[in-house]
Structure 1
Amino acid sequence: MIRKIFKGVCVASVCLLLCFDGYAQKIKAGVLVVGSSSAGVAAAIQSAHSGVKTILIDKGNFESIVLPSDEGQTRSGIYANFIKRVESAQKYPVTKNQVFSPSFAATIFKAWADTVKNLTVITRGSVTAIAKDGKGWEAILSNKQIVKADVVVDATQDNYVASLASLKVVDTIKNSSPDSLPYADNKYRTGVAITPSANTFPVTIPVSAFIGATDNFLAPWSREIIATTASGQATGAIAAFCSFFKTTTKSLNVRMIQSELMSFGSQLMRFDDVAEKDTNAMAIQNIALTGILKGRAVSGKFHFMPDSNISTDEIMVPVKEYSSRSQIWFLDNKSEKLSLKETLSLIKFIASRGNELDREVTKGWSASLKLPSKFDPARPVTRREFAVLFNAFVRPFHVSVDLAGALKR
């Protein structure tokens, strides 16, 4: 889908840091975020929310934050929280096309940042030198302070922190054609933020898009992808993971990062036919990120088709990836329209469940599973129902994947 390769660290910066090391005040942090763009603030807030001491540096004093027009495509995660704070301040609902002035957006974000535990904001400051320090980084600020951080996030519009560290940025993007089945590789399984890019399907940005060749240096931007609160929030979660677990960007637990983001309301894969407030949206998203049920690009939009039916041929190969023993079930079961009864039979086979599953599903159909339809084992199962049942009782999303999206056993 995207992206970046970072190379080289400036020897001169290392020498400069050593010169200051003897007398400069040192500040230790888990994550250092440079740049108070909407993505930068989102990265800092998410990192702090994830329990990591975070420093956000702003060249100014939060006077101006420009929100890209694409921000309003979805209201999830930090952006949804921003909207709530705007509505509280202006005393009336935010309309879909409402535009926020840079000064007003900055006022909202600044007031928010001031209340976030684990977050320190340094205004009217900048990084003048930066160099690798073991697994982490050391940065000299314009006030002569030295920040030692496990992870650095460059959220500046001109990428000047990467330039200071002599890190080269190379961007590449692969856009699938709008009406094809757009799954060129398995990286969609590692999606951590939705992308506003037109005709890029699936509508998700893989975790590898934020990672460079140099450990623990991240950026929520690309020459092709607009930095948004969504990409910033993803970057913050990745950075926090590395700091919290004292590891590097080469050793990420993708599913843990995805789960952390979803626990804070992030949307990781967007479907045009599944509402953000849909009671089954989380289960649909989880199953979509496993690839057991895939979305389809239709006329420039990405659809899950929650009310459509499923054939055994459609799910046989992806289900077998998660359960090799399921091939025995598929040998004995063929159906153009998989029934609810057959779905429960498949789940029982994979999860080693008995007839108690029938009673559990019947009892929880409307209550815990929150399915809007009527329970009828004889009728064809919908993609929505299949996603909810598989997510609840097979739990394929809990199978780990590597940075390329391959399953880890």
Structure 2
Amino acid sequence: MIKKFLTLLLVLVSTISFADTIKTDVLVVGGGASGVAAAIQAARSNVKTMLIEQGPWLGGAMTSGGMCILEANRNLPNGFYGEFRERVKNYYKVRLGYDTTFNAVLNFEPSIGASILKKLTDTVKNLTVRLNTPFTAIKKDGTGWEVSITVNGKTDVIKAKSVVDATEYADVATKAGAIFNTGFDSKKETGEAQAPADPTNQIQDISYIAILKDYGRTADKTIARPDNYEASQYACLKKIDIKAMLKRGALINDKYMVNWNDCANQFSVTSDDLSPENRAETFRKARLHTLGLIYYLQNELGYKNLGLAEDFPTKDKLPLIPYIRENKRAYGEVRMVLDDVYTPYTRGSRLYRTSIGIGDAIPGQHYIIPGAPKIKYPPFPPYSVPMGVIVVKDAVNLFVTEKAMSVTHLVNGSITDPAVQMALGQGVGASAAWCAFYGKTTKELDVRHIQDEILIYGGSIMPFNDIPKSDPAYRAVQQVGATGMLNGFRSVTGNTAQMLFKPDTTVYTAEVKPYLNETFARSFLWFNKTQPGESFTVGNLLSYISEMSLTDPETLERIMRANWKTKYNFTVAFDTRRPVTRREFVVLANKYLNPFSRKVDLSGKIVN
């Protein structure tokens, strides 16, 4: 008996000893659009990084979820999103009819998108990727975290200095004890003019997207009648131009992405339906709803030649996961509201100064159930995503992205777009890497240092449509723009809006004086002495630089004359008497005044 007991004890001890403890600097949980971008940027920022994904593919909603037509950020394809776009276009450019123009809507087959991401991560130094690896638990470990994962039926522990929750459902932050809100915020709570008077718990519908293929006019690809099928659920499709809808979702190789509104793919849920204990049943019903759509399309509308493509390794050929537009939002160090999109420069806080990425997506509104507030958004301009929305309040060194960011319901409709998430994921990775590399916490984030890292690796922090990365002044405009020394202009044409810098227009004294006086100690004295006119001239700028940098004015003017066109690439002749342009101002101010070096906190306030 004793021998048997000792044998059992030995087996138990041996089993426990085989549980591995893995150490890394940054751990990203979730391999969606933002998770992949965050992991790659963290690794490129020279810290040891691990990415775990519970499924077999990278890409999340845009691959495993089938959301493979990306309209957002195509006019601002910078950073990691721009890198991904180029790889997709290079893959398909030899295919007849694929649109490779600069700002074309990006489309790809889901499996190809996942393959491109996997090949990309395989080439990144300092990055380890583990697919088919579920996360199970998280607990605090000093200023870092211990995260439990399941590997081959056993539990391993990952010790990380910084953790990024890039899951679709905020599972990591939930288990870490973060506080969330959900549904529509009220106008009283957020101050948003477009918000409803009373809050609701309604979240946007989920969708199981379908990838269909045209198998030829004579083919019959009719699927079996799904359980609980009711043709009346899809009757609104009789009023829709199906051919036009298919054309809008056209992919390469005679395939179509079907992600249609109203009575088609949409499936109404609550945040409770997306909780871990309810997901399986919710998703089962949602899958059946989309299969019913396909059956209706084939039998009631006569499209028997359209069958489910062989894109996904699933029995029913639907995506691995549903397309989740919204779930619950964590309380962060700051919360982004609509005014941070429409009027970023006139708010009490200056969150744009803390930007980690840019977005350009029209907010979606997807609700089947009647009664959900219908929001009339004014034309939606590109915007900056502030750093504080990815930092979980009172949870040191825990970052969130995807659907869990600290934004209002009305902002969520844009910011969770996969293209936007891929763009801002780079900023999340740079922030997490900064904490790990310097041994700091999210209470000590150096906004300017992190922004500089994002710019070094090709990302953007200011959403100016008229200053492409190829512009010689791009870096200066990004940095000075982030200080607020010169603001952008929202330009509306019909239902579309842009954010413009207008580099060739005049700088006016009234627009730069407040910032200069706030930032530089002797600025008041210079303005009182010089009394510049309404337009700030080239001579005024040189005089100001001379005063602030203690440079001899004659020497400075001589240097400027010599380098005006050759070094600084200015096209208008040097003349101290004429008004200075915004391009000239930011390039010279960035070099000689270096306002970007002034620290700011997460609210955008200058820290002296």
- The TM-score, its normalising length taken from structure 2, stands at 0.61
Answer yes or no: is the 8 Å Cα contact 1:182–1:201 preserved in 2. no
Which residue of the other structure, out of 91, 95, 100, is the alignment partner of 1:94? 100
Alignment of 1:118-267 (within 5 A): 118-143=126-151, 144-170=155-181, 171=329, 172-176=335-339, 182-184=345-347, 185-198=349-362, 203-213=383-393, 214-221=395-402, 222=405, 224=412, 225-226=415-416, 228-267=421-460
CA distance in structure 2 between the partners assigned to 1:195 and 1:63 by the alignment: 21
CA distance in structure 2 between the partners assigned to 1:290 and 1:273 by the alignment: 18
* Matched residue SS, 1:145: strand
Answer yes or no: is the 8 Å Cα contact 2:144–2:162 preserved in 1. yes
Q: Which residue of 2 aligns with 1:36?
A: 31
1:380 CA displacement: 1.2
Answer yes or no: is the 8 Å Cα contact 1:126–1:141 preserved in 2. yes
1:277 CA displacement: 2.1
1:396 aligns with 2:404: no
Which residue of the other structure, out of 513, 524, 538, is the alignment partner of 1:340? 538
* One-letter code aligned to 1:102: P
CA distance in structure 2 between the partners assigned to 1:298 and 1:177 by the alignment: 16
The worse-fitting range, judged by mean Cα deviation, of 257-266 and 168-177 is 168-177
* One-letter code aligned to 2:100: V
CA-based RMSD of the aligned residues comes to 2.2
Q: Which residue of 1 aligns with 2:576?
A: 377
Deviations 1:98-150 (A, max 9, x none): 31222111111100100100000011111111111110111111111110001
Change (3 A) 1:26 1:342: same
Change (3 A) 1:341 1:242: same
Which residue of the other structure, out of 96, 112, 124, is the alignment partner of 1:104? 112
Answer yes or no: is the 8 Å Cα contact 2:462–2:478 preserved in 1. yes
Which residue of the other structure, out of 519, 536, 557, is the alignment partner of 1:322? 519
Which residue of the other structure, out of 456, 461, 470, is the alignment partner of 1:268? 461
Which residue of the other structure, out of 558, 573, 580, is the alignment partner of 1:359? 558
CA distance in structure 1 between the partners assigned to 2:441 and 2:472 by the alignment: 36
The worse-fitting range, judged by mean Cα deviation, of 304-313 and 135-144 is 304-313
Q: Which has the larger radius of gyration?
A: 2
Deviations 1:69-99 (A, max 9, x none): 3243422111122233234433457331231
* Matched residue SS, 1:146: strand
Change (3 A) 1:135 1:229: same
Select the structure with the greater relative contact order (CA < 8 A; seq sep ≥ 6). 1
1:374 CA displacement: 2.4
CA distance in structure 2 between the partners assigned to 1:180 and 1:115 by the alignment: 41
1:63 CA displacement: 6.1
Answer yes or no: is the 8 Å Cα contact 1:400–1:408 preserved in 2. yes
CA distance in structure 2 between the partners assigned to 1:178 and 1:126 by the alignment: 36
* Matched residue SS, 1:142: strand
Change (3 A) 1:97 1:202: closer
* One-letter code aligned to 2:383: V
Answer yes or no: is the 8 Å Cα contact 1:351–1:393 preserved in 2. yes
Alignment of 1:280-299 (within 5 A): 280-299=473-492
* One-letter code aligned to 2:124: V
CA distance in structure 1 between the partners assigned to 2:445 and 2:594 by the alignment: 20
The worse-fitting range, judged by mean Cα deviation, of 294-303 and 309-318 is 294-303
Answer yes or no: is the 8 Å Cα contact 1:369–1:388 preserved in 2. yes
CA distance in structure 2 between the partners assigned to 1:105 and 1:72 by the alignment: 17
1:393 CA displacement: 0.9
* One-letter code aligned to 2:360: P
* Matched residue SS, 1:276: coil
Answer yes or no: is the 8 Å Cα contact 1:46–1:236 preserved in 2. yes
CA distance in structure 2 between the partners assigned to 1:167 and 1:111 by the alignment: 34
The worse-fitting range, judged by mean Cα deviation, of 94-103 and 344-353 is 94-103
Q: Which residue of 2 aligns with 1:4?
A: none
CA distance in structure 2 between the partners assigned to 1:181 and 1:142 by the alignment: 44
* Matched residue SS, 2:359: coil
- The TM-score, its normalising length taken from structure 1, stands at 0.89
What is the number of residues matched between the two proteins? 390
* One-letter code aligned to 2:176: A
CA distance in structure 2 between the partners assigned to 1:336 and 1:377 by the alignment: 15
* One-letter code aligned to 1:405: G
Q: Which residue of 2 aligns with 1:17?
A: none
